[in-house]
Chain A
């Protein structure tokens, strides 16, 4: 069986052969939907987000407590903590209906934003070393657990050493173009404009 025969035999078994043709109306709807979109976090991930938010708040609270009691008069900031905090985030974007990202929206939504380099990828968890904090508490490392669909931090694509820009709200990574590889066109400018 030569290549042509093999290819032909496979083609006959193509499961999409019976797929009806796309109507122009359906095509137009799909195109319009992609350009006019919203996003939301799925309900199934909310309890995890709350849990993670609680952990982050507890960590931050402890940090402030110690900073307040042991280092009186000093403000909590990137230079204030001798042991940078580890922040844990979840990345969930099951429902991905997004508009092009806007700096104003990012500014209004994100309570934590940073630039980081991936230092470890294990299973559904990615660890990044923070290189710059745009907003929020100082952190040395951030652990992002990839919960389900995360287009901005697709598990298979995250490589050690890769630089990322990540924003989050209440412990949940903001997807939809608000987080991603640092070389994503326009992302760095978006961060600079927003923060």
Chain B
């Protein structure tokens, strides 16, 4: 049995209506900027069906924890989305399989980069540890600095900065290795009669 709220009811016992209005106003002002950022964050990390679910869930958490939302809401909201996404990933396998099937039935829209995908980069990112790849994504895709990355991951700005620095180095190394192996294959092919 869960907590069933009364559908359609707009009264909140114990809550001053004017306070509720103020709360709604704050949320309505805050949400649009958060929605677009979180939507992109999720599109980069999961299938469209899960992204939709987790976006709704993230917004619910933002609404319920409106008093906790800091002045810079986006990194905080990314952190919430990250937790919700991790929870979704821990959900039962049946749901995961269903989400995968839905993703196939309703395939993601074609991505322009797919025409000329940077396979080396994809491969290099895949070779990185999950935590390293994630700081790079937060840095390049979400356009965050170390302080904000720290806020998303729940670590200090200093730790985020160190992790980011190392991750960049590792990615460069992996890209170099891949370039070298491709170059080697090409030169071998060229030398064949």
Q: Interface on A for B, CB 8 Å cutoff?
A: 1, 3, 6-7, 9-20, 22, 27, 30-31, 33-35, 37-41, 44, 49, 93-94, 96-106, 109, 124, 146, 148-151, 154-157, 169-170, 172, 174-178, 184-186, 193
Asked whether, in the complex, the Cβ of B12 is within 8 Å of the Cβ of A100, the reply is yes
Q: Interface on B for A, CB 8 Å cutoff?
A: 1-5, 7, 12-15, 24, 27-28, 31-32, 35-36, 39-40, 43-44, 55-57, 59-65, 67-68, 83-84, 86-88, 90-92, 94-95, 109-113, 117-118, 121-122, 136-137, 139-141, 154, 168, 171-172, 175
Asked whether, in the complex, the Cβ of B12 is within 8 Å of the Cβ of A30, the reply is no
Asked whether, in the complex, the Cβ of B111 is within 8 Å of the Cβ of A15, the reply is yes
Asked whether, in the complex, the Cβ of A31 is within 8 Å of the Cβ of B140, the reply is no
Chain B nearest CB, measured from A159 CB (Å): 11
Contacts A22-B39, A27-B31 hold; do A155 and B95 have CB atoms under 8 A apart?
Answer: no
Asked whether, in the complex, the Cβ of A39 is within 8 Å of the Cβ of B5, the reply is yes
Contacts A34-B62, A100-B64, A157-B83 hold; do A13 and B113 have CB atoms under 8 A apart?
Answer: yes
- Partner of B172 from the list A1, A19, A98, A109 (CB cut-off 8 Å) is A1
In the bound complex, CA of A19 to CA of B55 (Å): 14
Contacts A10-B136, A10-B141, A105-B3 hold; do A34 and B27 have CB atoms under 8 A apart?
Answer: yes
